[in-house]
Amino acid sequence: MIELQIYPDDISLNQAAAEWMAGIIRAQPDSKLVLALGKSPEGTYQTLAHMVKGGVLSFRKCRVYQLDEYLGLKPGDRRLLFAWLLRSCLDPLDIPANNVVRLPSESPNLEKVCAKTDRIVNQFGIDAMVLGLGPNGHLGFNEPGSRFDSPTRVVTLTPESLVSNATYWGKQEDVPTRALTMGLGTLSHARRSLLVVNGSHKRDILQRMLLDEISPKVPATCMRNWSNVTVMADAAAAIDLEPGPFI
């Protein structure tokens, strides 16, 4: 079941999402986390960073699982998602880089890497995660058609995701077409999940996630089968929706 909360603007949304995460960290300082990248959760991380800088919150003991990574990139490539994770999350939140279970951009045995990631997650669990909602309903790089029990694996990005990611790198030709992603089955075991959705451009996909039949056609609908899921949306994204539970 999903609990939808609606906020009038980005400022109140980011503050509420940050307080949600802060409450978890204060209760369990060594939490194991998944922190998605993208524009949606960016304001949440900035608000949390102010708390860290002010000395009222610490992530130093947390462990982070990298949600996804482009394949075929060399060290130092500006498009590496781990570098983005460093800039937007790890450094601002003062999380040591060696506290991260990384997904590589290249490896001679990707299947072994994926299986190892899932073993670590199964051993230590996911205490909380912050996700964004893709324009086609993807979570991480779990594109439409992804099985709800899918493991961490190699995926091919859809044309829609290539267009969406091009906004970060300049042009569609710059976006790698293959990636590693934690699977929906892996993510489903999180003890608590937060989905941050903002902007009128997310209106249609948010409605489909909450109101359409639960189907791999919209991967995010799987969250309605998960436990302890909170969706925080601004008013622009939640037009025509009412706060409350969605099953």
Active-site residue, from 14, 69, 127, 136: 136
Q: Counting Cβ atoms within 10 Å, is residue 211 exposed (0-12), middle (13-18) or buried (19+)?
A: exposed
pLDDT at residue 160, as a whole number: 87
Expressed in angstroms, the distance from the first to the final Cα of the chain is 5
E strands within 41-148? 63-65, 68-70, 100-101, 128-132
Is 138 among the catalytic positions?
yes
How many CB atoms sit inside 10 A of residue 183's CB?
23
pLDDT at residue 164, as a whole number: 86
pLDDT digits (tens, 9 = 90+) for 196-239: 999 999 999 999 999 999 999 999 999 999 999 999 999 999 99
pLDDT at residue 225, as a whole number: 96
Tell me if 152 sits within 8 A of 188, measured CB to CB: no
Is 143 among the catalytic positions?
yes
Active-site residue, from 14, 69, 127, 138: 138
pLDDT at residue 52, as a whole number: 98
Spans of the chain, pLDDT less than 50: none
Domains in the chain and their CATH numbers?
Answer: 2-242 (3.40.50.1360)
pLDDT at residue 167, as a whole number: 85
pLDDT at residue 57, as a whole number: 98
